Protein backbone atom coordinates (compact mmCIF):
# COMPACT_ATOMS: atom_id res chain seq x y z
CA UNK A 1 0.00 0.00 0.00
CA UNK A 2 1.21 3.49 -0.82
CA UNK A 3 -0.23 6.67 0.59
CA UNK A 4 0.63 10.24 -0.37
CA UNK A 5 -0.65 13.70 0.54
CA UNK A 6 -1.34 16.42 -1.99
CA UNK A 7 -2.31 20.05 -1.74
CA UNK A 8 -4.94 20.91 -4.30
CA UNK A 9 -3.45 23.58 -6.51
CA UNK A 10 -6.44 24.47 -8.68
CA UNK A 11 -8.65 27.36 -7.64
CA UNK A 12 -11.93 25.51 -7.95
CA UNK A 13 -10.70 22.39 -6.19
CA UNK A 14 -11.57 18.92 -7.49
CA UNK A 15 -14.58 19.95 -9.50
CA UNK A 16 -16.32 17.98 -12.23
CA UNK A 17 -13.56 18.22 -14.84
CA UNK A 18 -10.57 17.06 -12.76
CA UNK A 19 -12.75 14.51 -10.97
CA UNK A 20 -13.77 13.02 -14.33
CA UNK A 21 -10.12 12.90 -15.36
CA UNK A 22 -9.25 11.15 -12.07
CA UNK A 23 -11.92 8.48 -12.56
CA UNK A 24 -10.67 7.84 -16.09
CA UNK A 25 -7.07 7.66 -14.92
CA UNK A 26 -7.98 5.15 -12.21
CA UNK A 27 -9.53 2.80 -14.77
CA UNK A 28 -6.07 2.17 -16.24
CA UNK A 29 -4.91 0.38 -13.10
CA UNK A 30 -5.85 -2.80 -11.29
CA UNK A 31 -5.03 -1.37 -7.87
CA UNK A 32 -7.76 -0.15 -5.59
CA UNK A 33 -7.21 3.60 -5.35
CA UNK A 34 -8.93 5.75 -2.74
CA UNK A 35 -9.00 9.40 -1.85
CA UNK A 36 -9.20 10.65 1.72
CA UNK A 37 -10.17 14.08 2.99
CA UNK A 38 -10.43 14.54 6.74
CA UNK A 39 -11.89 11.30 8.07
CA UNK A 40 -13.78 10.47 4.89
CA UNK A 41 -12.32 7.95 2.45
CA UNK A 42 -13.91 7.01 -0.88
CA UNK A 43 -12.84 5.01 -3.89
CA UNK A 44 -11.58 6.94 -6.89
CA UNK A 45 -13.78 4.97 -9.29
CA UNK A 46 -16.89 6.97 -8.41
CA UNK A 47 -17.28 10.51 -9.68
CA UNK A 48 -20.19 10.96 -7.32
CA UNK A 49 -18.08 10.03 -4.31
CA UNK A 50 -15.16 12.20 -5.34
CA UNK A 51 -17.39 15.21 -5.86
CA UNK A 52 -19.11 14.60 -2.54
CA UNK A 53 -15.80 15.24 -0.79
CA UNK A 54 -16.04 18.84 -2.04
CA UNK A 55 -12.25 19.19 -1.98
CA UNK A 56 -11.41 22.85 -2.45
CA UNK A 57 -8.31 24.63 -3.72
CA UNK A 58 -5.64 24.79 -1.00
CA UNK A 59 -6.97 21.81 0.94
CA UNK A 60 -4.93 18.68 1.55
CA UNK A 61 -6.12 15.23 0.50
CA UNK A 62 -4.45 11.81 0.64
CA UNK A 63 -4.42 9.18 -2.07
CA UNK A 64 -4.10 5.55 -1.10
CA UNK A 65 -3.24 2.91 -3.72
CA UNK A 66 -3.16 -0.82 -3.06
CA UNK A 67 -2.58 -3.59 -5.58
CA UNK A 68 -0.06 -5.18 -7.91
CA UNK A 69 0.47 -2.02 -9.98
CA UNK A 70 0.27 0.46 -7.11
CA UNK A 71 3.65 2.02 -7.87
CA UNK A 72 2.73 2.80 -11.46
CA UNK A 73 -0.69 4.03 -10.38
CA UNK A 74 0.86 6.37 -7.82
CA UNK A 75 3.25 7.75 -10.43
CA UNK A 76 0.29 8.65 -12.63
CA UNK A 77 -1.53 10.16 -9.64
CA UNK A 78 1.62 12.14 -8.80
CA UNK A 79 1.73 13.55 -12.30
CA UNK A 80 -1.95 14.36 -12.14
CA UNK A 81 -1.77 16.38 -8.93
CA UNK A 82 1.60 18.00 -9.53
CA UNK A 83 1.27 18.84 -13.21
CA UNK A 84 -2.16 18.38 -14.79
CA UNK A 85 -4.52 19.60 -12.07
CA UNK A 86 -3.51 23.25 -12.43
CA UNK A 87 -4.57 23.21 -16.09
CA UNK A 88 -7.88 21.45 -15.62
> Which residues are the active-site residues?
15
Write the DSSP string, 38-82.
Answer: TTEEEETT-HHHHHHT-PPTT-EEEEEEESTTHHHHHHHHHHIII
Give whichever of 5 and 71 is closer to other proteins, judged by the CB atom.
5
List the one residue out of 26, 25, 6, 9 whose CA is nearest residue 88.
Answer: 9
Q: How many residues bind other proteins (CB under 8 A)?
A: 28
| Contact window for other proteins (CB under 8 A) among 29-37, 49-57, 65-73, 77-85 | 49-57
Q: How far is the CB of 25 from other proteins (least distance, A)?
A: 12
Are 16 and 5 contacting, i.e. CB atoms less than 8 angstroms apart?
no
Query: Does 24 help bind other proteins (rule: CB under 8 A)?
Result: yes
Residues in contact with other proteins by CB under 8 A are: 7, 9-13, 15-17, 19-20, 23-24, 42-43, 45-49, 51-52, 54, 56-58, 86-87
Amino acid sequence: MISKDYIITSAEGIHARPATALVKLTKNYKSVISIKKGDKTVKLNSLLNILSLAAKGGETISIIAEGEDETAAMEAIDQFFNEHLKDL
